Amino acid sequence: MRILVTAGPTREYFDTVRFISNPSSGKMGFAIAAEAAARGHEVVLVSGPVAIAVPADVKVVHVVSAEEMFNAAVSAFEDCHAAVMTAAVCDYRPTRRLDHKLKKKNRVRPIQLQPTRDICAHLGRTKGDRVVVGFAMEDHDHRANAEKKLQRKRCDAIVLNGIENVAGDDAEIKFLRADGGWQASIGGTKVVLAEAIVNLVENLLDKTS
């Protein structure tokens, strides 16, 4: 099977050197890509800026901004059976990017933001009989927000991921399946969690075949 995985952060620049981003390391997405490839799946990994070696037998597409990730993910998904959306995509970007470095002055400089396009929701709307697994990074009302995201983005499952998991090697996650509700928590290294997530994807694909 052919699987799309998105990973890492995006960067949304407001001048030539400064940007809005987040601390995502990409470790979870890269671990999922490596596990899926090790099982013989064809993997396309669309990654924002990270400092991780590309896993063996994985095709990687490097991007920077949310718009670049949107375009790369949508293109790759055309030939995929499933998508696992681990990337921490910025929800907003500056409405204007200066063509020079903004010089420091002793006054407030407002920056207007506009929403970026929702990659996971777009894939959910266009998936047909394919599988889309989203990630929910929540810092409050965890389950309620994940349940809303599952419905809004039309995912087959959501992986609930807390902000305490960002950049670490260990994590605890929960699965919310559209066809089965909440599953038990799973903890361990991100390599161990990647095994569980690829198991989830394979199980969901089996149900659609």
Task: Please identify which of the residues 22, 71, 145, 203 carries the catalytic annotation.
Answer: 22
Question: Taking the CB of residue 135, how many other CB atoms lie within 10 A of it?
Answer: 24
Tokens of 80: 């995929």
Q: Are 15 and 98 in contact (CB under 8 A)?
A: yes
161 is catalytic: no
Phi, psi of 192 (to 5 degrees): -65, -45
**Closest of 119, 76, 80 to residue 208, by C-alpha:** 80
Cα 147 from Cα 113, distance rounded (Å): 27
**Closest of 165, 126, 124 to residue 28, by C-alpha:** 165
Cα 139 from Cα 120, distance rounded (Å): 20
Tokens of 23: 């601390």
Positions marked catalytic:
22
